[in-house]
Structures are given as C-alpha cells and as structure tokens.
Chain A
Amino acid sequence: MNIPENLRYTKEHEWARKEGNLIVVGITDHAQHKLGDIVFVELPAAGTQIKAGTTFGTVESVKAVSDLFAPITGEVVESNGELANAPETVNKDAHGAAWMVKVKPANPAEYDKLLSALDYKKLCEAEG
C-alpha cells in the first residue's frame, strides 16, 4: 500500500499536504485503486468556499460515482483543470500530478487533526 508519511488523510480517502500557507488536496492511491479506471473529475472553481467533512466535488470511475470530501474548511484558490481532460491521471499519480484543489484554510490547526499515515493505513486494512 502506497501511503506516504508526509501526507495527512481523511477516513473518506482524501489526502492533504501543506504547501506554504495552503493545503493541497487529492484522493489517495488506495482510493483510486478501489475505484478503478477514473473517467470523470468535477472540481469547484477558485473562490469556492468548502467545509471540512462535506462534499466539494465528484470523481467517477466507469462503474461508479464517488463524492469528494473536504479535509479542511477554507477557500479554494486553485483547482486542477488538467483532470477534466485527463482524469486517468488520478489512476497514474494520485498523490502527485492528480492533486485536485489548493485550499487557503480558515483554521490551519484543522490540518493537524487529520489522520496520520499510520492511522490511515490501519483504516485501509480494516476496510479490506
């Protein structure tokens, strides 16, 4: 299982990473593997306010629709427009090129409450 130590995680299988004063968000490699071939990604435009624990976008595999859950509350300052034309990037590089949104957090301390790599690994193992 590919679960980088330098990322934080949600129980809904998003990852979050600090980049300066922003938080970069995507879905985990484990999630893309479970979903299968990703063919559609829908993300909020810059300026959108998102709220921790609520949906902020959608990914669809050939078979199924999945909501994206925000790890943190804040304002989207950039979303990855490349994914609309190349959704398969999520399968190829979930933790890198397939980042989804960059968020200016309302309360940066929220980041520290997200799951650690170890806790996320335990969660994935428990879900099977």
Chain B
Amino acid sequence: MTALLEVSGLSVSFDGFRAINNLSFSIGPAELRAIIGPNGAGKTTFMDIVTGKTRPDTGSVTFGERSISLLGMNEARIAREGIGRKFQRPTVFEDQTVTDNLILALKAPRSPWRVLGWRPKAPDMARVQALAEEVGLGDHLARKSGELSHGQKQWLEIAMLLAQEPKLLLVDEPAAGMTPAEREQTTTLLVSLAKTRAVVVVEHDMDFVRRLNCRVTVLHEGSVLAEGSLDHVTQNAQVINVYLGRG
C-alpha cells in the first residue's frame, strides 16, 4: 500500500521555537489515524502545514497517487487536490441557506469564470438533498444555517466536507464540546468514512481515541515519539513519561 500523504524531515520554527522538529509521517489511502500529544506538541501546526496555512522551513509533503508536492501550493489549491479540514468550531456560512452552503461545497469547478456560468442541475440538487438527509437536515434545506442549533451546524459542516469528496480528511478535536451521544455518532461516522478515504483525527481525549480503535501517532516537541495501537503506545515508557504520566 503506497502512502496517500507522506511527510518527511519536516521542520518549522516560530521566533526560534521549533514547533515541528524533523517530523516524518505517512498515511495510506483508506486509513483512520489518531494523532495525540500534549499541548504544544505540534499537532495543529502539522495540520496547518498540510493544508497550506503555514510554510515549513525544511522537509517535504507529498500527496496522492502521483506524489505531488503540496509545498508552494496555496490553501485553495490543496483543498482542490482533495484535502478537507474540519475545524473545532463549526464554521458554516450563517447568512446563507443550508442548500446554498451545500452547493458551495459540492465538488465542481472553482474558478470565478466557471462558477459564473454554473447552474444547479437535477443531479446536483439530488445530491444536496441526499447529503442533507444523510445528516438529518433534509427538512431544513431552505432555512438559513444561522438559525440551526449548534449540533445541526456541526452536522451541516460534516455534510459540506462530504460534498467536497476529499481523499484525506483532517479533523481537529471532534469530540470537544459534544454530548456522549454525539460522540458515539461521531465515532461511527469517522470509522465509516475511513473505509473509503484517509481520515486523520487530532484529539486530546483518550477515551475517544480508544473508541476509534485505530493506529495512533504520539507527537512530542514536534516529532513522532511513538506509533502503533493505543495499547502499544500507552505502554511505551517515554510516552508515559511525557504525556500520560502528567495527567
């Protein structure tokens, strides 16, 4: 199995502080991976680099079957390559309807000229309807997304990510602020999504990671400390020392 995302020798510093230090990491095309680590371990910086928000000082990031380099691409270009990102806080376009939000996310040409001429066709609207039903918003298509509850916005954002049809999904602390029932649903969703694409979950919550039942990468001070099943890494002496031991 060749890697979908391959990161090697990555380093970046902010004002002398090494946020990422010679990090190497890879993930396959249909894999669920959890990244854990204490605060300041470089989890968010890692996501920022992959999505093009931050430029690394050294190292390489390659993506896809043809192993194209993501460095030097802007955020929009990387998103079009097939990397989706879910933020911690639900971010939907509150002034627009659920339908508009989903149409914005639908996989379609993104350039201004092409968008000017784009009109929704029957398959597009059917897809929007299907996606909305998928996340329980089938009856709310015409509503402004700003009127939705917090949970509904969360699900709308997930539907928007699905509409993008990404090959790699980066999910930032999905369990934060969720009820136990919602966590259960989110776990099921992430596991089922990872059957057809790569999903990287950055998470603090050990219980949540245990439920995902997947390979775990432990970051510490910007590099990989340990990798393997959760049980494997939790027995690693170094991991216990820097991370688990504190809690």
Do A and B originate from a single complex? no
A residues in contact (CB < 8 Å) with B: none
